[in-house]
Amino acid sequence: MTAARALSQLPYDVQEEVTTYLPSGDLFSLALASKYLAELAIRALYSHVSLHSRYPQSPGPLIDLRPNATLRMRQFSFLSALSRRPEYARLIRSIAFEFTDPRISQCVGDWIVPEELVWRAFAKCERVTSIDIKAPATHRVTPPDRPLFPNLRRARIEGFFQEATLDCILHTSPVLQELHFMPQTAEFDNDVGMNALPWHNPSPSPTLDPFLQRTVFAGALPSLCILQVDSPYQITSGAFQLFLGHISPHIQILNLTADLFSHGENALDEAALRLLLDETHWPQLTHLIIRGIAPTLLSPYFIATLRRSCPRLIYIGDANNQMII
């Protein structure tokens, strides 16, 4: 019995589990073994789409001197494959995608990835449960024209987006459980002025406040359990307090940075935490992580008060896992 035939006789869920341990090169070889194994390899290759600089291709013998051009070439290839075989969209479970500024080209023959086609392709990926999307700060990425990712459960967002883009990405799924805002994440300021020229770089807004407020008013994120915010100076305390009050009934892990709030406001110390957390009941909160805060800044009285507001709280700590509670 050949190895290929032995693999094909295993239960299908075991076959899929085997393919999760294979690198892409081995999956390409598996696809050449037989038609049946080709379908199995294609399912594995398309289940996790990584077109992001955070997840580069396996290192080869040569150094890539044009990483942005290589990334755009891979993205263009993915869009072409999906246009030829739209049925592959139902195989995709996670997407890591980085938009790049098309004005920054490293060679004459650089690849251009139309943003409208990217969103159109994402609209076909209705079974995606995890995304990692990054947008540049020097270019306004065209927003999607429809809601995306109805089954999304985990999202990591980075970069600067036009208004309503984050709504189309994050407000669609009623089962989104984990949300992570990376550093330098905000919305562009749509008020660019009457004298703005088309080639001027857009000015990013220093805040995520509009998105947070729209989330509350729309009643979105009803299942959010884990929130991590790494965007310093881009949220005001008033908007964040409103947002926390909205998600407080179901949030379990809250991971913040001490320099969270906009310039001109105090750091996230005991006084700020008291305003954010003390007046709201947190029935599900188990972990409160404040990175960059000194454990001595939180008094025993405040921790005792917090325990009454958070009956399930078992951990308060900073980024170094120093237990405060």
Contact 269, 290 (CB under 8 A): no
- Mean pLDDT score, 105-119: 74
If we measure between CA atoms, which residue out of 166, 167, 243 comes closest to residue 212? 243
- Mean pLDDT score, 62-71: 63
| Rounded Cα–Cα distance for residues 169 and 148 (Å) | 5
| Rounded Cα–Cα distance for residues 286 and 265 (Å) | 27
272-323 pLDDT, tens per residue? 777 777 667 889 999 988 887 766 667 788 788 888 888 898 888 776 656 6
E strand segments, 108-190? 130-134, 154-161, 178-187
Mean pLDDT over the full length of the chain:
81
Contact 252, 285 (CB under 8 A): yes
Q: What is the dihedral of CA 232, 234, 235, 236, to 10 degrees?
A: 100
| Rounded Cα–Cα distance for residues 99 and 97 (Å) | 7
Helix (H) or strand (E) holding 86: none
3-state SS assignment for residue 53: coil
Contact 98, 70 (CB under 8 A): no
Ramachandran angles phi, psi of 287, nearest 5°: -135, 125
Q: What is the pLDDT of residue 197?
A: 39
196 pLDDT band, cuts 50/70/90, is: very low
**Percentage, residues of the chain above pLDDT 70:** 78
What does the domain layout of the chain look like in residue ranges? 234-324
Alpha-carbon Rg for the chain, nearest whole angstrom, is 23
User: Model's pTM, two decimal places?
Assistant: 0.85
Question: What is Dmax (Cα atoms) for the chain?
Answer: 74
202 pLDDT band, cuts 50/70/90, is: very low
242-270 pLDDT, tens per residue? 899 899 999 999 998 877 765 555 566 66
| Residue located via tokens 């306004």 | 140
Spatial neighbors of 319 by CB under 8 A, at least 6 apart, are 289, 291, 292
Contact 133, 177 (CB under 8 A): no
Ramachandran angles phi, psi of 316, nearest 5°: -125, 125
Task: Give residue 6's identity as a one-letter amino acid code.
Answer: A
